[in-house]
Structure 1
């Protein structure tokens, strides 16, 4: 006699996905801890462009609300373990290029974000985004996944200070005596050992253990010191029991987008730049995460693709109404997937935690970047396993895959990696007399990408 699964398991298909409710909740917590830095980084970036009273706190609230809404949409409607939040890179383009250099009002820039999100939804509804995903060859899809892995690992190395900038060599090894470096290396080794020994929740335990070391030893690994220096954990600065902070309604941001201004001829290039960059960034991220979580079928198709891509566009539109730059799928979701998250309950957990962070945001400040960096490095390493499926002895397959993988960390952009891979794949196949191996849709995509680089602002 078979028993009927509880409603929660039945709705999300947890058992069918080979997961459990505790595993999904733990994966959601891991993803949240890995991406919670956006609560502080996004306000820091956008506050240079958005000049309103109490800007940092209002932007933090908008970031939390947008991340919660985007993650809940993805979890409840698309039912995938992919969290969403205001994206890094696009927020810098918003603040420093569009508002800072081009002198476009931030309200108009928000309108451009909203319109680009509407275009995402439209293309998803008619099946254009999933048609493009189908047109990408399987080897290139595995390369996208591996490229995201290298990008994640590079983010982790950078956040920990293991890799630093150098005026002579661009990049160099950071000082191994720096507390953030050896703390992160400790976390990498500890988490790797736990994973090897098949300890449940290995990545999460690694984050919590390194955080505990940082707090107990009072290591200077937290921002906020004098002249930008790092400091020891300053303690909880909330108003109740030290860890609670009262939410603030972002009244100076909500509904301030200027759609009419964004439709002006002088701003259309901004709209399309937001569109192109996030289209391929999010499409590459979602495809890579789907492959990593085992949802791509033998043809490289993702179930519920139309719904999933539409949620990405709706999240961008919602975020623009709230007052933040493009909200999109987060590559850090791979940390929760690495922890076993396989269904929308993982993303729902992330969404709920972002809502709670509006009350508990002082507690989130206890997790230093050096503690989450090991998770990014380890998950990045695990995402490289797919490169064995690339046909490396065929240069028409190998070079596009290589460019895809290497360009993501070196240009600090998933979109650039996908773009270079697609363009080079089409050119090499065509000029080698093997043009019929390329899907016609992919030729159209390659032409659009070339036009984007030729005529639109880069960023």
Structure 2
């Protein structure tokens, strides 16, 4: 009689050995399943896929190539490629369930401050993004993250995020015609009777309602619903005040190589700009600082929500986690887009149960699929993406509640940081005003020991820039 015949009836079957995928990602160890990870990846994609529409809309204001009329479409493909690569390395190498894509706020800084405001070519700006990514990787690998994180006070970190939110909201209102230039008051309310204005307002309310109802992918659905309204009612919201002209390029098409913007970084133009080295350093550091603190806060918060942060505040594979953010920024710059970074919308996938890198890989695969639907992207008017900018701006104001408004030494630098960004149409000015004012207040009140020496060094460099190099 065999051993099997001697076993008592009804004995449980031996446990099934975990698959290679399960072992690599630690799916069972994280109390998750493959179907749950796939579902979470889809949820994350739906929550952040609005970037496919919005990023090209922002960057196409600055990235212009003479004789080329499909830059917007090339930016759509580049956005998808950067998001797919960033999410893939985050999931495959770092094995975290966090997706990456070109960051909101950083794309606005790239387009409206560095290129249109400071006069750099977009090729030089891409070089600055690449260098900032290199710095991010190097500092992550050597473990210098903790020292740099401590250099800026929490109030300024929160204010930078909030200021970028206000700047994004202003850009969204400007793109929709809600606010316009005015000689006597600088800005004024636009003509509400114009189709782009009321279409954007309808989209804004609709998106807000969807978000309040906790609809997954609310921003994306808001963009799509607003676009449908523009098409159905044939509203004159497209280029030259025209209405929808039909799907002239079809709906599905094979993606093509974005050759006019990929691998166009110009390091020579960056370092030989009329503001010389300090100007280039300011641009690179601003890209670096904004991305560094945004990514640090985002990734730390997501890791904590995912159960990866221990009682000491440490995360497994932390160096790899942060290095993948820098690597994504470098790759995105090579492909022709602004800084690629971790997305807080990954929290949607985490809430859906995503706990491992398989979630991020799923999101990456969906961005690849999205590239085959690029003809649909051109159908989305600026008035439909404007509400997304305003909504994201509102979300980014959340950090203000962490600023101690009863302490003028904390409140004034935060105030200057937040309001200088939209009022001067420059994220760099907001960051600079905040750092300089914070440092001066600490020194002049005899409390200089309360801030890091690195903060004073940054403040000194920024003062030099404004006094001698502007």
The aligned length equals: 438
Match of 2:331 in 1: 318
Q: What are the residue-to-residue correspondences of 1:210-289 with 2, within 5 Å?
A: 210-222=226-238, 224=239, 229-238=240-249, 242-250=250-258, 268=277, 271-287=280-296, 289=298
Q: CA deviation at 1:81?
A: 4.0
Residue 190 of structure 2 is aligned to residue 174 of structure 1: yes
Check 1:220–1:325 CA distance in 2 against 1; reply closer, same or farther (3 A cut).
Answer: same
Check 1:403–1:109 CA distance in 2 against 1; reply closer, same or farther (3 A cut).
Answer: closer
Match of 2:12 in 1: none
| Partners of 2:264 and 2:211 in 1: CA distance | 47
1:90-143 superposed Cα distances (whole Å, 9 cap, x missing partner): 256776689xx67x8x87776665445434433333344542222322233332
Match of 2:53 among 36, 41, 47: 36
Q: What stretches of structure 2 of length at least 5 have no aligned partner?
A: 1-14
Q: What are the residue-to-residue correspondences of 1:350-369 with 2, within 5 Å?
A: 351-369=364-382
| Partners of 2:128 and 2:402 in 1: CA distance | 39
| Partners of 2:418 and 2:124 in 1: CA distance | 35
Q: What are the residue-to-residue correspondences of 1:119-158 with 2, within 5 Å?
A: 119-158=135-174
| Partners of 2:74 and 2:212 in 1: CA distance | 43
Q: What are the residue-to-residue correspondences of 1:58-207 with 2, within 5 Å?
A: 61-62=77-78, 64-74=80-90, 76-77=92-93, 79=96, 80-84=98-102, 87-91=107-111, 114-207=130-223
CA RMSD, aligned part only? Answer: 4.4
Q: CA deviation at 1:398?
A: 0.9
Q: CA deviation at 1:87?
A: 2.9
| Partners of 2:140 and 2:69 in 1: CA distance | 38
1:218-250 superposed Cα distances (whole Å, 9 cap, x missing partner): 12223x3xxxx2322222232xxx112333334
Match of 1:412 in 2: 425
Q: CA deviation at 1:149?
A: 2.9
| Partners of 1:295 and 1:154 in 2: CA distance | 32
Check 1:218–1:278 CA distance in 2 against 1; reply closer, same or farther (3 A cut).
Answer: same
SS at 2:191 equivalent: coil
CA contact (8 A) 1:87 1:326 kept: yes
Bigger Cα displacement from structure 2, 259-268 vs 28-37: 259-268
Bigger Cα displacement from structure 2, 62-71 vs 340-349: 340-349
Q: What stretches of structure 1 of length at least 5 have no aligned partner?
A: none
Match of 2:5 in 1: none
Match of 2:3 in 1: none
Q: CA deviation at 1:403?
A: 1.4
Check 1:309–1:419 CA distance in 2 against 1; reply closer, same or farther (3 A cut).
Answer: farther
1:133-157 superposed Cα distances (whole Å, 9 cap, x missing partner): 2232223333233323323333332
CA contact (8 A) 1:188 1:375 kept: yes
| Partners of 1:398 and 1:298 in 2: CA distance | 32
- TM-score, with structure 1 as normaliser: 0.76
Match of 2:62 among 37, 45, 54: 45
Check 1:385–1:422 CA distance in 2 against 1; reply closer, same or farther (3 A cut).
Answer: same
CA contact (8 A) 1:140 1:421 kept: yes
Q: CA deviation at 1:424?
A: 1.4
Match of 1:329 in 2: 341
- TM-score, with structure 2 as normaliser: 0.74
Check 1:275–1:32 CA distance in 2 against 1; reply closer, same or farther (3 A cut).
Answer: same
| Partners of 2:417 and 2:149 in 1: CA distance | 15
| Partners of 1:9 and 1:186 in 2: CA distance | 45
1:143-199 superposed Cα distances (whole Å, 9 cap, x missing partner): 233323323333332332222222332221121112222122222222333333444
Q: CA deviation at 1:57?
A: 6.1
Q: CA deviation at 1:399?
A: 0.5
| Partners of 1:26 and 1:234 in 2: CA distance | 32
Bigger Cα displacement from structure 2, 429-438 vs 192-201: 192-201
SS at 1:209 equivalent: helix
Check 1:74–1:44 CA distance in 2 against 1; reply closer, same or farther (3 A cut).
Answer: farther
